[in-house]
Amino acid sequence: MQTPNIAIECHHVAVVFRNRTSEQQVLDHLDISVPRGQIVSLLGPSGCGKSTLLRVVAGLITPASGAITIEGKSVEASRDKLAFVFQEAALLPWRTVWQNVMLPWEIRGAQSGSKQPTPSKDQLREAIEKTLTLVGFKPTDWHKKPSQLSGGMKMRASIARALITQPNILLLDEPFAALDDMLRSKLNDLLLEIVSQTGCTMLFVTHNISEAIYLSHRVAVMSHGKIADTIDVDLPFPRESGVRGTPAFAGLYGQVAESLARSNP
Amino acid sequence: MNRTPPLWLRVLAPIAVFGLVAAIWHLAVVLFRIPPVILPKPEAVISALWSERWTLLKGSWVTLQASMLGLLCSAIVGCTVAILFSQSSLLRTALYPYVIFLQTVPIVAIAPLLIIWSGTEFRTVVLVSCIISVFPIISNVTSGLLSIDENHLDLFRMQSASRWKTLLKLRIPSAIPNLVLGLRISCGLSVIGAIVGELFVANSGAYDGLGTIMNAMQANLKTAALMAAIMACTLLGILLFLFVQFLGAVVLRKWTRDAGFEAP
């Protein structure tokens, strides 16, 4: 039986990428579970399978073997409850910010088989306004096209689009990799704010150690398609940027860095 | 070293070349006593352009209509075929060789056949224009519909989007710049197609596009007028190209409000 307090449960998940000449075990019978309302960061070098794991959880890749349960149900049955934030903001360039944020509902809207009731026009407008405000958009920027926005603003719009369907689980694939440190730390705080307001569970892929520690309850270090190590981050919530300067943070940083180096020689 | 020359030079230099060529042309005709039926003097061509202006304008108008209609047809047919191709790889594999066949068959060779089938009429000219200009639309729009950003596709998959929704809200909007690019290539071809069609429709009396007019001029050995008509054809092609270029720029700008998302 599943414990209802587990949001994401992966059991012996294996993924193999094949091409004509070779076979690569991208995920090697991996186990991980994420408790509800927690933030877990997946940390590891390029090619260790962290993005693949995220895609498996999202249902974008079907594993060769193993089982994934989302809040006790199959991935297909929980799609409505999942949202994905891509590495590049992946906004549709011909749509305004507003229209981009509306898109998930537009796709779901008329479609049958959707479990969540479709919001009315007014409800939707209110939800978009609320979400855009939450991620830090001024009303003057609501109707701009992505080409008129900075990288940080594009990412904020992308996060808003993920939040608009009120997901229980947010999956983020190196969302801030292309941003500078200042912006990255601002958006980290925004994510923490969002989690505290919505109670989302979050699986966060990154290759930045400091970001992984700052954001999460737990850091999972990956290596060659497996979880090599998990490190609990016992820093208090709510977190503020000041915590980055504390000895406790530095200690965790050393611990994670050492684990990363040990498992990925 | 590769400095752009000043504006006056960029305007004057081509004009000077034109003057030089005209002067050599004129001298050659005088020196070698070339009969005007073979090569008229440049000033004779200019004066023919003037004296035949109404015939040429009327012909250009008819040819313009034929090529624009031909281009419109290829846009409609091309987009429809491209959408079908994007939805079925079986259809694509089965039919693409024939689309290439359409591109490689010399249109000049099948034009007489089309006239037997469809008659010496306006619609035949439009048909020839369409056949010759449809390929760039099909190939460009198909590639636009198929080369979609993986993240965008994943975004739609995450919402369990139907094939229809993905086509309507993702593939077709993504392919708009490719359509504009295809139209840019096709517009020149559509003019060529219309004129080729008209050359074959010939002197039926029922039709008077630039091509048919040129046929008559050739038969009557009106060489200066014929050269003037060739100039009219060229101008017509440029006109249509500029129109499509302008239309494309407006559409693309509106599509993405400038910057960041250029035509591929």
pLDDT digits (tens, 9 = 90+) for B6-28: 888 888 998 999 999 999 999 99
Same domain, B226 and B159: yes
Q: How far apart are CA B188 and CA A171, in angstroms?
A: 49
Same domain, B191 and B86: yes
CA-to-CA separations, B9 to B3, B4, B20, B22, B24, in angstroms, rounded: 12, 10, 16, 19, 22
The number of C-alpha atoms within 13 Å of B165 and in the hemisphere containing its C-beta is: 20
Is A67:A12 a contact under the CB 8 Å cutoff? yes
| B70 part of a folded domain | yes
Same domain, B123 and B213: yes
Residues in chain A: 265
Q: How many CB atoms lie within 10 A of CB A230?
A: 12
| A98 part of a folded domain | yes
| A168 part of a folded domain | yes
Quick: pLDDT tens for A212-240.
Answer: 888 898 999 888 888 888 888 888 777 87
| Closest by Cα among A58, A62, A9 to A38 | A9
Same domain, B126 and B8: no
| A183 part of a folded domain | yes
Q: How far apart are CA B230 and CA B108, in angstroms?
A: 18
Q: Is A90 on the interface with B (CB under 8 A)?
A: yes
The answer to whether residue A115 scores a pLDDT higher than 70 is: no
Same domain, B202 and B74: yes
Say whether B260 and A84 touch across the interface (CB within 8 A): no
Tell me how many domains chain B contains.
2
Q: Which of residues 142-171 of B touch A (CB under 8 A)?
A: 149, 151-152, 154-162, 165, 169-170
Q: Helix, strand, or coil here: B44?
A: helix
Tell me how many domains chain A contains.
1
Exposure string for B108-141, b = 16+ CB within 10 A, e = fewer: eeebeebbeebebebebbbbbbbbbbbbbbbbbb
Q: What is the CATH number of the domain that holds A227?
A: 3.40.50.300
Residue among A92, A147, A165 minimizing CB distance to B257 = A147
Same domain, B132 and B200: yes
Say whether B165 and A107 touch across the interface (CB within 8 A): yes
Quick: pLDDT tens for A54-73.
Answer: 999 988 888 888 888 888 88
Quick: pLDDT tens for B47-58.
Answer: 998 998 998 999
Is A70:A219 a contact under the CB 8 Å cutoff? no
Query: Phi-psi bin for A257: left (phi > 0), alpha (psi -120 to 50), beta?
Result: alpha
User: B126 or A112: whose pLDDT is higher?
Assistant: B126
| B263 part of a folded domain | no
Phi (first) and psi of residue A28, to 5 degrees: -110, 85
Residue for token pair 């009120």: A166
To the nearest 10 degrees (0 to 180), the angle between helices B122-146 and B53-87 is 40
Same domain, B210 and B146: yes
Residues of B in contact with A165 (CB under 8 A): 159
Q: Is A166 on the interface with B (CB under 8 A)?
A: no
| B227 part of a folded domain | yes
Same domain, B1 and B70: no
Same domain, B74 and B203: yes
Interface probe for A, chosen from B148, B153, B157, B159 (most Cβ of A below 10 Å), is: B159
Q: How far apart are CA A97 and CA A229, in angstroms?
A: 39
| B76 part of a folded domain | yes
Give this complex's ipTM. Answer: 0.87
Same domain, B49 and B27: no
Q: How far apart are CA B139 and CA B64, in angstroms?
A: 25
Confidence of residue B146 (pLDDT cuts 50, 70, 90): very high
Same domain, B110 and B11: no
Tokens of B101: 């066949």
Residues of A in contact with B261 (CB under 8 A): 93-94, 147
Give the domain extent around B128: 41-256
Q: How far apart are CA A81 and CA B157, in angstroms?
A: 14
User: In the prediction, which pLDDT does B85 show?
Assistant: 94
Q: Helix, strand, or coil here: A199?
A: coil
| B264 part of a folded domain | no
Say whether B173 and A106 touch across the interface (CB within 8 A): no
